[in-house]
Homo-oligomer: A and B are copies of this chain.
Amino acid sequence: MNKDIPDIHDLLQDLSWYFGNQGFDDECCEDLSLAEYMALKKVYDIQNITIKELGVSLNITKSGISKIIDRLEKKCYVSRHQSSSDGRICCVLPTEKGNNAIHKISNRYSEYLDEILGAVDEEALQNIKDTLELLFKAIQDKGFIKSN
């Protein structure tokens, strides 16, 4: 094994702590929990995604994701729609409020990140992006570390 691998994992884990629950919420993200935000983002990115697909892609059980969508719907960020072709399937769409929230939160975080990375030049930013993309694709292909 390459000697950098453990260090890379360590860094990923520490970074994730910042971008996970510990770095989330507060005045930033309205009344959304991290899980709710992640689900809303998926709903925004993949319009008409089903409950099941949401659960799989976020690695949350179906009862878990069902309740997350309950909360998002109650707070008017998304709406459920029964599929016309298969009555069992429930498709989720963002509402106007949902779309706005995604934009607002994304902007807020981008400003934060911009402050942090203000001194980094464009080429380096491009490299950061490429690197993260490479990492994400690799990890996504492999699936979650847990059973899945």
Contacts and interface: CB of A to CB of B under 8 A. Distances in A.
A108 to B, nearest CB: 9
B8 A132 contact: yes
Query: Interface size for chain A: under 10, 10 to 19, 20 to 34, or 35 or more residues?
Result: 35 or more
Quickly give the copy total for this chain: 2
B110 A9 contact: yes
A134 interface: yes
A141 to B, nearest CB: 8
A139 B19 CA distance: 10
14 contacts: A1-B111, A2-B117, A4-B128, A6-B110, A8-B128, A10-B106, A13-B41, A13-B109, A15-B19, A16-B16, A23-B59, A23-B145, A23-B146, A26-B145
Interface of A: 1-2, 4-28, 38, 41, 58-60, 106-107, 109-117, 120, 122, 124-129, 131-136, 138-139, 141-142, 144-147
